[in-house]
Amino acid sequence: MNRTLVILTLNEIDGVSSIVPHLPKSIADEILVVDGGSTDGTVEFLSEQGICVVQQDVPGRGEAFRVGIEHSVGENIVFFSPDGNEDANDIPELFHLLESGAEIAIASRFLPGAENEEDGKPLPFRKWANQSLSWIANVLWNRSGKKVTDTINGFRGYRREAFLSLKSVSRGFTIEYETTINALQSGMRIVEIPTIEGQRIGGKTKGPSWPTGIAFLRFIFSQISRDIRSAFL
């Protein structure tokens, strides 16, 4: 088994019902949904579609990544969030990059040719925050000379052994940032493609700006203190 698509859901009935039925069965050898405890009919809808749904015991998006890896068998795993932000047409290219030697393949909202959901807004605060996080990661942890433009986007794939070797611990939305930074530090091959980010189709965000932003800042400080400790001990 080569290609696994892991779909992440938490109360996403609007997005799921308009996106998932249009995913071609051939998009992956294995399709699995990891659900974080939806109560809006998401799980029932997916089960009716004949899609395997695994429920998380421990909450959080980071936890969902690990559950997806644990319950799947493919060598190459692409994570997809069906809320309207991610363009499913990019999924085959992410798999292709992993099969061609990338250890992590990221759909970037900031490469030339890409679009971020806030492009065109007069004050794109989330875009600026995202770009600042990537700037920090590149300055502090990237020694490869090739910048990663979107270190936090969840629309991405990993080779199985690469994900496992990163030994992620993030429970929530820092999972992508954590694994990108650890991958940069261990010299993994990260490849990006431009993507067009769409608008959320319905429902509510699970990553509200302030708590999520604070979680990222705490993560950066814990990462820096970990590095300082390991440099001196």
Counting other chains too, the contacts that 126-132 makes at CB distance below 8 Å and 24 or more residues apart are 126/209, 129/209, 129/213
Is 157 a binding residue for ligand GTP by CB under 6 A? The answer is no
Is 31 a binding residue for ligand GTP by CB under 6 A? The answer is no
Shortest spacing between CB 200 and Mg ion, in angstroms: 5
Shortest spacing between CB 142 and Mg ion, in angstroms: 26
Counting other chains too, the contacts that 206-215 makes at CB distance below 8 Å and 24 or more residues apart are 206/10, 206/11, 206/36, 206/61, 207/61, 207/173, 209/125, 209/126, 209/129, 212/172, 212/173, 213/129, 215/172, 215/173, 215/174
Instruction: Catalog residues that contact Mg ion under the rule CB under 5 A.
Output: 83, 85
Among 148, 188, 206, 216, binds ligand GTP (CB under 6 A): 206
Of these partners, ligand GTP, Mg ion, none, which one is at the site of residue 74 (CB under 5 to 8 Å by kind)?
Answer: none
Among 207, 211, 224, 225, binds ligand GTP (CB under 6 A): 207
Binding letters toward ligand GTP, positions 64-103, x by CB under 6 A = x----------------xxx-x------------------
